[in-house]
Amino acid sequence: MKGCLLFVVSAALIFACPVFAEAPAALQLETLVVTAGREDKDAEKLARPVRVLEKEDFNRIPGAGLVEVLAREAGLVPREGVGKSGGLDIRGMGDTFSSNVLVLVDDVPMNARDLSGVDFSTIALEDVERIEIIRGSGAVHWGSGAVGGVIRIITKKPSELSATLSTETGSFGHRKNRIQTSGSSGKSAFRLYGGHRETNGYRENSAFDAKDAGLDLQYNQKGPFSFGLSGHVYADSYGLPGPVTQGRSRKSASTPYDGGETFEKRFTARAEGNFDAMGTLKLQRSLRYRDQKMDMTGRQVADSESGPPVDTGVTEKTARMDYHLPLERNGLHHSLHFGLDHLESHYVRTDPDANLARRYNGRIVEYGVFSAADLGLTESLRLSLGGRHHVMDADYRYDRMSPEGWRQHSLRSETWEKQAWDAGLVYEMRPWLHVYTSFATSFRGPNVDELAQASADLKPQESRHLELGFRSSFPGWYRLEAGLFSMEADDEIYYDSLRQENRNYEEKTRRRGLETALTLYPAPAWSLRLDMTWMQARFEKNDKVIPLVPERHAGWQISWEPVEVVGLYLAGRWFDSRYDGNDFANREKKLDAFHVWDMRARLHSSPLDLFVEVHNIFNEAYAMAAYSGASYPMPGRYLKAGVTFCF
């Protein structure tokens, strides 16, 4: 009720204050252009909440990487501390966030087809041009897994001749060096980049060392066509300190010898044809290979004779085709969008065992076809419609080692067909006020880890989404966004620890809440951003709270730029308490609520850009996740500084 009241009061204030609409603009802001589907649209025309972060925004936000930067947005909850790079939960998906929040890099899915989630450490923030956060269902345009939301990351593209060198140092042995260079000649352009990052970690056995390199090529021939080719290689090694039980130091490691290493390479080929009034055709084909070796035996003493680590190899191929046709009738702008996509993922995990070695094999193939329309009903009212038909084929088996070699032991094969729908309205009540509402459906198929220990009737989950909100802005004065959302899921997939198998919940789950964000410009040198999220994530029948989902969280960002070359930025986050990851009955003590403050100072005058950051200024002790009382602590206060040379 408090959240609904805040929404109503905020709307009333906007309607009651037309003075904003009449005041002269102190600062003219650029219109945000996003790609909620795969065609460009103005942000104001979208019937769902969208947040766009440009590369200049990253310089104003204290953060060591993508997860830390994105976690400052309304509706996003970080899940750091558990793995090497953490993750992001959108709209209370809980422990299955890694399969219900879709992350794309240049429209290539980064979600692993198991439960390991997205490896954000493979994506350097310095290589990112823009990030689009679309909360709610994205199933029509993106297919399975776009349930809680979609995070679309667009990397930098080849440009004119330039070079960038950067270096960082900080607490816990943090070291980071990167290089990037671009150039063009006639119709061709390139971008070459690479880097190295290492840290001793803020806990025992939490060291991390990573290297990466990449090359982007672009060719624009005479005529409507352009072509692109990109490749990226990444390798790392890391420790896995495990959870900390009550009473132990947050720097200690419960698994002092667990760890792993990763090798990944991905390649993407793109072609685009721009035919003016006949529309735009985009084609893309990608290949991604990932090999990960892990030791998660929990050894407490060094054992040089222990067996080899678990070895997981994943090969993933994707293909996309998008055709976008703009139309104009009776002075109104419309657009049609048609698309096809295909994904094929092969997963092989070898699990050594002293008595009987096993090899797990998974194959997931998905085909999708979709269409969408954006229609101008009047000059102030727009209607969006979309639909998708999707087919999922999943095969899973595991083999046992015998004296004769590997022998198939069990096999499971499933085929599912799913549909997704989307309809939305956006009404421009005033030039400075847009109201929107939408209804959509989504789905998510089981991944290979869930198929490995699945009940006989395991099937995909389905969800229904409802949005209602408004956006109000006046350049140089303010921007206010507020939205109510409701999501109900049937057959949500979960792991039953008693039966030790993955099952579908017999009861519905529901997530309802309010997301608000307000940006103010009280003076030319100042800006202030406030956001607040209120959420209820519960099981419908027993009204129990879904574990690891905070009911409330909020954030503050203050920017002061007294002159063009100097900036001082202060940011804070507050998260409410939440239940332990295994406390489905809501009987145990909750994880404590906490607040964390960070600060960044920046001096940028070509060709130099310097910064200093202080994270967790008040040395808050907190954890984002815990299971059966054992928590994964986050770092205390730490410092970081860096310099960038641009030529």
Residues of the chain below pLDDT 50: 1-32, 36-38
DSSP-assigned states of every residue in 135-196: ES--HHHH-TT-SSEEEEEEE----SSEEEEEEEEEGGGEEEEEEEEEEEETTEEEEEEEEE
- H/E stretch holding 8 reads helix 2-16
Read off the pLDDT of residues 540-586 as tens digits, 9 standing for 90 and up: 988 999 999 999 999 999 999 999 999 999 999 999 999 999 999 99
pLDDT at 21 (0 to 100): 35
Q: What are 433's two structure tokens? A: 């006020």
Looking at residue 38, what is its pLDDT? Answer: 47
CB-based contact 60:569 (threshold 8 Å)? yes
Cα–Cα dist 620/488, whole Å:
35
End-to-end CA distance of the chain: 55
Output the CA torsion 428→429→433→439 (10° steps). Answer: -60
- Give the separation between CA 198 and CA 519, rounded to whole angstroms: 36
- 67-77 pLDDT, tens digit each: 988 999 999 99
Q: How many CB atoms lie within 10 A of CB 211?
A: 14
